[in-house]
Amino acid sequence: MKLITVKNYDEMSQKASSFILDLIQSKENPVLGLATGSTPEGLYRYLIEAYKEGKASFQHVTTFNLDEYVGIERADANSYYSFMQENFFKHVDISPSQTFLPNGKAADLQAECEDYEQLISNASQIDIQVLGLGLNGHIGFNEPGTPFSIRTHVVDLEESTREANSRFFESIDEVPTQAITMGIGTIMESKMILLLVSGEQKAEALVRLFTNEVSEEFPASILQNHPNVVIIADEAASKHLSK
């Protein structure tokens, strides 16, 4: 795992955008794995800016998001589908038919997971998978204890995850209890993983990422076994890492 330390959230976002822009400028049909949450918002702003300045086009880009809540409509402001429209897709020239998220309202969730896996494998391989880091070490919504080999599946969200995400909802009771997430097995097949970590509240989790043995109790620890991981962390998040 390669660690790049930057000053703050803005630098983290800009640096992350440079990896994505390099990819889409050098590859004909790039495939991106994307995340939601607070961490990648700045990255998306930089990508939109590059598009508006005529420095990048997303016309030939395909995207797969990590996850989606179960039980909320795509049109709901809290769906990850809406998050991606608002924070990225609607501002650039990406084709809607090339942006994929699991459908958390599918009648048959198991079939939805299998279809999502099929779509990813049809696209061959994710070139860069963007990840945020959960306070409990989750990646995607793969909570502690999730088998490393698992593919896209339905998860029960931990209370701590629902609490962390309740900031986007009126109250914690509105936070869905389940989600569909790409599995760790799926994530690990990406060519490159770009893990973004910002803020003091992630400092503990970042230490664990480097010091934990590879264990399902701390899902992100599996990244130690991936051949091409770049972690971009700001000063606040990396404050407990020994220099």
Could you give the residue numbers annotated as active site? 67, 136, 138, 143
Among 12, 23, 24, 35, contact with ligand F6R (rule: CB under 6 A): 35
The owner of tokens 């070139």 is: 127
Kindly state whether residue 134 participates in binding ligand F6R, applying the rule CB under 6 A: yes
Kindly state whether residue 178 participates in binding ligand F6R, applying the rule CB under 6 A: no
**237, 227, 48, 41: CA torsion to nearest 10:** -30
Residue 99, classified by CB atoms within 10 Å of its CB into exposed (0-12), middle (13-18) or buried (19+), is buried
How far from 168 is each of 70, 134, 141, 214, CA to CA, in Å?
16, 16, 16, 31
Distance of alpha carbon 214 from alpha carbon 131, whole angstroms:
18
Kindly state whether residue 39 participates in binding ligand F6R, applying the rule CB under 6 A: yes
Distance of alpha carbon 151 from alpha carbon 120, whole angstroms:
11
To the nearest whole angstrom, how small is the minimum distance from the Cβ of residue 188 to ligand F6R? 15
Kindly state whether residue 104 participates in binding ligand F6R, applying the rule CB under 6 A: no
Among 33, 132, 183, 219, contact with ligand F6R (rule: CB under 6 A): 132
Piece of the chain touching ligand F6R by CB under 6 A; list 21-29, 36-44, 54-62, 211-219: 36-44
- 67 vs 127, beta carbon nearer ligand F6R: 67
Give kind and range of the element (H or E) at residue 130: strand 128-131
Kindly state whether residue 176 participates in binding ligand F6R, applying the rule CB under 6 A: no
Kindly state whether residue 15 participates in binding ligand F6R, applying the rule CB under 6 A: no
The residue number whose beta carbon is nearest to ligand F6R equals 132
What secondary structure letter does DSSP report for 200?
G
Distance of alpha carbon 155 from alpha carbon 135, whole angstroms:
17
- 36 vs 103, beta carbon nearer ligand F6R: 36
Piece of the chain touching ligand F6R by CB under 6 A; list 16-24, 86-94, 139-147, 230-238: 139-147
Kindly state whether residue 231 participates in binding ligand F6R, applying the rule CB under 6 A: no
* Helix 9-26 vs helix 41-52: crossing angle, to nearest 10: 50
Give the footprint of ligand F6R on this chain (CB under 6 A). Answer: 35-39, 66-67, 132-134, 138-141
